[in-house]
Amino acid sequence: MPAGTIRYWAAAKAAAGTAEEPYAAATLAEALDAARARHPGELVQVLRRCSFLVDGDPVGTREHETVRLAEGGTVEVLPPFAGG
């Protein structure tokens, strides 16, 4: 099973209580399910509004079950940002 890093930004960072943590998951869906299990409560709500980058590539509308994760990869969790 690939291992890498999940990085949380802004509201996701506050809800998770950490800026980053490791993942051990084959897909984005598995990594996010594990994050929800580790951080029940506010993070579960925040993740519904987030967009994701996997190794710098936007996930967009792809089903999370189809997004494969790589060994040593990075998942960026990006809540909506305000500002201009």
pLDDT digits (tens, 9 = 90+) for 33-75: 999 999 999 999 999 999 999 999 999 999 999 999 999 999 9
C-alpha to C-alpha distances, 22 to 32, 69, 75, 77, 81, nearest whole angstrom = 11, 12, 10, 13, 24
pLDDT band (50, 70, 90) for residue 81: confident
Q: Tell me the pTM.
A: 0.93
> Is a pLDDT exceeding 60 seen at residue 84?
no
Q: Is the pLDDT of residue 27 over 90?
A: yes
